[in-house]
Amino acid sequence: MKYISNIENAFDIISVIFDSLVLNANLVLVVSKPEELMMKIMSKYKVIEAAGGYVRNSDQSLLMIHRRGFWDLPKGKVEVNEVFTETAMREVEEECGVNKLVIDSEPFITYHLYRDSIFSIIKKSYWYSMRTGFAGELAPQTEEDIEKAEWVNVPVDKEKLNESYSSIREVMRHFFGT
């Protein structure tokens, strides 16, 4: 584990890591002005905003989707003039067919990095705890590469957790403590 205290040095190291997508090492940044560092990072990379849900049904099961080999939670990109809460509910309904959604929390924000054909992109996702009385059949949105949508027991079993992104595990930890 490395400790870096200077914002410029921290930014240089983050840039090298982000640009090469070498994300398997732990890095602890200790800086006096973390907001300044975040603004600098966010100004260098394309930022896409998304919103989604940690959705529980009346049995307290959690809605999960399986897409591109990973267990995930429903989320999607924010459309022009759309409020984050609207995006989150729209995406859950589109990706899984679940309606009757009620938001129970302020957003929990995660950041994750990926690369398109040219650039490193930061996705800033706003996650909301939601509940639903929906009791119908789940309808995975196959045109978005969603192979399965299912209600899973909480805490989520280790196999599914191991097959999910670290940012999704953070969302689960935040809302459920797993």
The answer to whether 75 and 125 are in contact (CB under 8 A) is: yes
What CATH superfamily classification does 47-176 receive?
A: Nucleoside Triphosphate Pyrophosphohydrolase (3.90.79.10)
Structure tokens at 154: 């909480």
In tens, the pLDDT along 116-142 reads 887 778 899 999 999 999 999 999 999
| Three-class secondary structure of residue 116 per DSSP | coil
Report mean pLDDT in 10-residue bins for the chain, 178 residues.
Answer: 65 70 58 82 89 97 97 97 98 97 96 80 94 96 97 95 91 87
Q: Where in the chain is the domain with CATH 3.90.79.10?
A: 47-176
6-27: b (≥16 Cβ within 10 Å) or e: ebeebbeebeebbeeeeeeeee
Contact of 178 with 156, CB cutoff 8 Å: yes
pLDDT at 1: 53
Question: The pTM is what?
Answer: 0.84
